Amino acid sequence: ESTPVKVEDALKLNIEEKELVFFKKIGQGACGEVCQYEWKGTPVAVKTIFKSLLRKDKKEEFDKEVEILKCLRHPNVVLFMGTCLLNGNLSIITEYLDRGSLRDVLDTTSPNELSLNIKIKMLIDITQGMNYLHTYNPSIIHRDLKTLNLLVDTNYNVKVSDFGLSRFISGIGSSAKTFCGTLSWIAPEVFAGRGYTTKVDVYSFGIVLWEIITHKQPSGNMAQTISGYPEIPSNINCHPFFSELIKECCNKNPDLRPTFSQILQKLKIISSSVNNPN
């Protein structure tokens, strides 16, 4: 007779505090901090939620992120390695990506420093990760997609991270109504309180695409501007494909925005034409 397996034990998800060696602090937000540690000789990122701030809803947020991360297996989604009670604070341990966030990369390089090939490769990585989340069963809406939540390794591979605001949605056409996200990346339907689908992430991707091309940071409420999307400045030399894709992704009508599967096909075509101009 087989013995029932307890999933948590089988996956060895609970990491002991004594196994973690502090290396450096990476960043701090309103709810906690992210630090680099070593675990069994491997660099890892440790995201801690301060216990003083751990109201019931924050604990639920933590549990939600862990539940999602435990399930995910994709090369463009940050690898979840376990949880830990660190100095009494709840912590999530993930792989460490040494270039930091995509925002860090864009802030420390000029628009011409990163080749078009690298930029297209990064966009394909993000699209593959997001397509995986959206086609997961049940579908996962990220709800806070932005360059700060995209992590980059030495070889400019990009992985989607920070699922604190994600939620599972069941069935085609189902929508979530909770207000989430960061101002400049938020789709117009969220502000309107109409409920929203995976297409809110496509809108945010349009803003991320603009950031990658221009290296600039968006400011204010993009969704409330007349066009609803940011323009690429005329002094930046870029293929018209990108401004067209931004426009499509940021369409005020979510039904008219492409899916990540469609975006992926478009990016692969432009990638081929850049690499084989003839």
Longest dimension (CA), the chain: 71
Q: Catalytic amino acids?
A: 144
pTM of the model: 0.85
The CA-based angle 159-198-165, given to 5 degrees, is 60
pLDDT in tens, 10-56: 456 789 999 999 999 988 866 678 999 999 999 999 988 777 766 66
Radius of gyration (C-alpha) of the chain in whole angstroms: 19
As a whole number of angstroms, the distance between CA 222 and CA 87 comes to 40
Task: Please state which CATH class domain 10-95 belongs to.
Answer: alpha beta
Structure tokens, 257? 């925005």
Q: Could you tell me if 225 and 247 are in contact, meaning their C-beta atoms sit under 8 angstroms apart?
A: no
Q: Above pLDDT 70, what percent of the chain?
A: 77
- SS3 per residue for the chain: CCCCCCHHHHHCCECCHHHEEEEEEEEECCCEEEEEEEECCEEEEEEEECHHHCCHHHHHHHHHHHHHHHHCCCCCECCEEEEEEECCEEEEEEECCCCCEHHHHHHCCCCCCCCHHHHHHHHHHHHHHHHHHHCCCCEEECCCCCHHHEEECCCCCEEECCCCCCEEECCCCCCECCCCCCHHHCCHHHHCCCCECCHHHHHHHHHHHHHHHHCCCCCCCHHHCCCCCCCCCCCCCCCHHHHHHHHHHCCCCHHHCCCHHHHHHHHHHHHHHHHCCC
pLDDT of residue 180: 45
Q: Could you tell me if 156 and 108 are in contact, meaning their C-beta atoms sit under 8 angstroms apart?
A: no
In terms of CATH, what superfamily is 102-270? Transferase(Phosphotransferase) domain 1 (1.10.510.10)
Please identify every stretch of the chain with a pLDDT value under 70, giving residue numbers as ranges: 1-12, 29-31, 53-58, 163-185, 188, 191-193, 219-230, 278
Each domain of the chain, given as residue ranges in start order, spans 10-95, 102-270
